[in-house]
Amino acid sequence: NDDIWMQVGDMSVFRGGHSMLENYKTNKLLIIGGDILNSFECNDSYEFYDIDSLRSELLTPFPTSQVLGKHVLNSTTNIFQTSKDKVYVIGGSEMICYPMPFVFPTKRCWVFDTATEVENLEYKADEFQLYQNFPNPFNPVTTIGYNLKEQSKVELKVFDILGNEVITLVDDIQQAGYHQAEFNSNNLEKGLSSGIYLYQIKARGTEESKTFWQKTNKMILLK
């Protein structure tokens, strides 16, 4: 009644024209799509915003570079939610962001259960996972997400296409669950040129476990 507004926790990335869907059982918002304000409008991610803690808790890339929510080529959203908390993404457009932006219609349809996704948010996943960095292509900052099945000694490094190490982002013991690391190419003493880079994670179990897991993904720096 007093017209007083208080700024609270930010979203994980910039968004415009995104969709917001509420899960009444978990008291979380699903924020999906929207222009992330780069030159390619690669709005292909979603995140959960906790209404109680007032912060975003998980940023996840969409399976394809598919337009999510309102877009300059699509003034209406192609996302809706059923009474059973299932979210559908129907049609819209897909895009290729590299080497040149190109948008084209799609017939793909997707569905997932927000309750299931929230369970993943609570770190109940029983496997190691390395997610695609977001945004990708990026300039100069991108975020790398990964999930640990168990407590592990983690090394996360970035390499150039020839296999030369660029930087170590993580070198520490971390608990099981979802983690994120930010890579800012501007923080390097020697600047990086546009091109393909690799990020590799190695996870070794603690003394009680002999688990070893390793995976490498590609990412694109585009200036």
Provide the pLDDT confidence category of residue 156 given band limits of 50, 70 and 90.
very high
Mean pLDDT for the stretch of residues 179-204? 91
Q: Where does 24-148 show beta strands of DSSP type E?
A: 28-32, 45-50, 55-61, 79-81, 86-90, 93-96, 102-105, 109-113, 129-130, 141-148
Nearest to 87 by CA among 38, 46, 120: 46
- Number of domains observed in the structure of the chain: 2
- Express each pLDDT in 6-34 by its tens digit: 888 888 777 777 888 888 778 888 888 87
Provide the pLDDT confidence category of residue 124 given band limits of 50, 70 and 90.
very low
Task: Answer yes or no: do 116 and 25 share one domain.
Answer: yes
Residue-range definition of the domain harbouring residue 158: 129-221
Residue at which a domain ends, from 87, 102, 121: 121
Task: Answer yes or no: do 169 and 98 share one domain.
Answer: no
Give domain status of residue 8, yes or no. no
Reply yes or no on whether the pLDDT at 132 is more than 50: yes
Query: Quick one: which H or E segment has residue 120?
Result: helix 114-121
Mean pLDDT for the stretch of residues 181-206? 91
Give domain status of residue 11, yes or no. no
Provide the pLDDT confidence category of residue 73 given band limits of 50, 70 and 90.
low
In this prediction the pTM is: 0.54
Cβ-based neighbours of 108, under 8 Å, separated by 6 or more? 64, 66, 89, 91, 94
Give domain status of residue 166, yes or no. yes
Residue at which a domain ends, from 74, 93, 121: 121
Task: Answer yes or no: do 110 and 133 share one domain.
Answer: no
Give domain status of residue 145, yes or no. yes
Mean pLDDT for the stretch of residues 180-184? 91
Task: Answer yes or no: do 202 and 180 share one domain.
Answer: yes
Task: Answer yes or no: do 148 and 217 share one domain.
Answer: yes
Nearest to 206 by CA among 162, 171, 174: 174
Cα–chain-centroid distance for residue 6? 27
Task: Answer yes or no: do 114 and 133 share one domain.
Answer: no
When mean pLDDT is compared across 34-38, 171-175, 201-205, the lowest value belongs to: 34-38
Residue at which a domain ends, from 121, 153, 174: 121
Query: Quick one: which H or E segment has residue 183?
Result: strand 177-184
- Express each pLDDT in 76-113 by its tens digit: 778 888 877 788 988 887 776 656 667 788 888 888 87
Reply yes or no on whether the pLDDT at 75 is more than 70: no
Task: Answer yes or no: do 103 and 175 share one domain.
Answer: no
Query: d(Cα 45, Cα 8) in Å, to the nearest integer?
Result: 21
